[in-house]
Amino acid sequence: MYQLWFYLIHKSVKFLMGSTSVGKTFETIIVGAGPGGLMAGRYLKDALILEQKEEIGKPIQCAEGLSKRFLDRYEIKPDPNWISAIVDNTQIVLPNKKVINFFAKGELYIIDRTNFEKFLAGQCRAQIQLKNRVIDIERENEIWKIKTEKGEIFKSKYLIGADGPLSIVRRKVFKKEIRILPCIEYLVKLEKELNTSEIKVYFDKEKLPSGYAWIFPKSNHSANIGLGIVGKGNLNLIFKDFLENTVKKEFGNYELLENKSGPVPWEGALIKMVKDNALLVGDAAGLVNPISGGRIGNAMISGETAAKSILSGDINSYELKIKSLPDFSDNLFLAQRILYSLDNQTFNEIGEVLERVGGNILKFKNPEVISAFLTKPNLRKNIPKFLKLYSIYKKYKPSMTSSNF
């Protein structure tokens, strides 16, 4: 009888306390198995990646563009298993519908992000646990205690937040919210055939304030089509208008196949990324290209840099290292502010001038181009802005053109 009562009391106490169990202690816990977390896990052996998704790479919330230079950095050879298209040309469509072409043969890939992330996962030295969402984070005696929805508690010396724009690591540890760019995107089936070697980017300050729309080919008859804007407006209605009055006119009837919408960090400057042995990478740190909104390559670089800072025992250098890299320069935020301060008339006049030099911005200082600028009223009054933009472009061209999306 005594044993029965003891058993019942023990079970009752366990029920009241929940089924919390203390898991293994790791040197590093990484929250999030996106490109940033997986790249950190590529270098860290005594590490655990906790991911709430059921499958690596799904759901996709991304236009899936990735610059070749990021693959070159890690000596990753393009694989047909995760390459959907190879881009030779970026078409900038201006408000007056004129097109400026920026040719860069084979410098940008449209990837299958799900398969690409699975490829990165296959290179991980860290352990990966899927379907294990982090719900709380505490620090006790210089050790991080990470609680998951399964009631498990994992401990670690270091913590990496690689858990996206709504990062629990950033909110719990850094007490910081970041500005979000609302985006809507679908994988769309198109009636007419696409040129899979080019992407289209649409600027229109009246319809798309502080943002742009895009068409990225995934196959001959499908593309990731979307838009993002900062400001007021019904995103669904704006997207519907873009599909009906732009996409349909060029590519015929369309069918929405898969919703890939998701938030994109859109900060005006880099935030604090290191605190008490915790580091933020990728979207969690707002490390998005300020010009393109690109994220994949930036996440990979920050994940690598965070991991190497831990391995060297000098994590306080992580933030300095990130800010010293061209892809994270404050000058890119300045270029963003300049670009999005221009109105439609100015964009159209830029197009007329660039048309004369085949879209080559580096010919900006040619006498012919300067003369053309001076004949345009909107360009003439913005000469100081363009000189600054030109100097930034010349120095950070790869980060402003062949970037990831």
319 and 188, same structural domain? no
Same domain, 338 and 200: no
Is 294 found in the same domain as 212? no
Compute the distance between CA of residue 353 and CA of residue 370 in angstroms, rounded to an integer: 9
How crowded is the C-beta side of 256, counted as CA atoms within 13 Å? Answer: 12
Q: Cα angle vertex 385, ends 382, 389, to 5°?
A: 135
Q: Which domain holds residue 227?
A: 84-108+183-262
Residues 378 and 254 in one domain: no
User: Is residue 373 included in any domain, yes or no?
Assistant: yes
Whether residue 384 is contained in a domain is answered as yes
Domain boundary among 262, 286, 311: 262
- CATH number for the domain spanning 162: value is 3.50.50.60
CB of 85 closer than 8 Å to CB of 217: yes
Identify the pLDDT of residue 283. Answer: 96
Q: CB-hemisphere CA count at 13 Å for 182?
A: 12
Rounded Cα gap, residues 69 and 214, in angstroms: 21
* 205 vs 277, higher pLDDT: 277
Residue 369 clears pLDDT 70, i.e. is over it: yes
Boundary residue ending a domain (240, 262, 284): 262
Is residue 148 included in any domain, yes or no?
yes
Q: What pLDDT, on a 0 to 100 scale, did the predictor assign at position 361?
A: 59
- For the domain that residue 103 is a member of, what is the CATH number? 3.30.9.10
Which residues, 6 or more positions from 70, have their beta carbon under 8 angstroms from its beta carbon? 296, 297, 300, 301, 404
- Average pLDDT of the chain is 88
How much is the average pLDDT of 198-209? 92
pLDDT greater than 70 at residue 10: no
- 243 and 375, same domain (yes or no): no
CA pair distance 134, 150, nearest whole angstrom: 9
Cα-Cα-Cα-Cα dihedral of 388, 103, 263, 217, to 10°? 170
Per-residue pLDDT reduced to its tens digit, 217-263:
999 999 999 999 877 678 999 999 999 999 999 999 999 999 999 98
35 with 151, same domain: the answer is yes
Q: Which of these three, 306, 328, 350, is where a domain ends?
A: 328
Rounded CA gap, 76 and 385, in Å?
38
Is residue 343 within 8 Å of residue 205, measured between CB atoms?
A: yes
Q: Mean per-residue pLDDT for 398-403?
A: 64
**Secondary-structure breakdown of the chain: helix, strand, coil percentages, each rounded to the nearest 5:** 40, 25, 35
Q: Residue 234's pLDDT is what?
A: 87
Looking at the structure, do residues 166 and 292 belong to the same domain, yes or no?
yes
Instruction: Note whether 225 and 298 are same-domain residues.
Output: no
174 and 188 share a domain? Answer: no
Structural domain count of the chain: 3
How much is the pLDDT for 18? Answer: 41
**pLDDT tens for each residue of 88-142:** 999 999 999 999 888 888 899 999 999 999 999 999 999 999 999 999 999 999 9
Domain membership flag for residue 76: no
Same domain assignment for residues 51 and 126: yes
Residues 53, 156, single domain; the answer is: yes
Bridge partner list, 147:
136, 153
pLDDT (0 to 100) of residue 129: 97
- Single out the residue of 311, 19, 20, 17 nearest to residue 154, CA to CA: 20
Q: For residue 316, is it within any domain?
A: yes
Percent of the residues in the chain that have a pLDDT greater than 70, as a whole number: 90
For residue 79, being part of any structural domain is answered with no
- Would residue 219 count as lying in a domain? yes
192 & 302 share domain = no
φ/ψ region of 364 (left if φ > 0, alpha if ψ in -120 to 50, else beta) reads alpha
Average pLDDT over residues 272-286: 97
Answer whether residue 382 is part of any domain. yes
Tell me: the pLDDT tens digits for 139-153? 999 999 999 999 999
**Residues pairing with 110 in the sheet:** 65, 85
According to the model, what pLDDT value does residue 8 have? Answer: 36
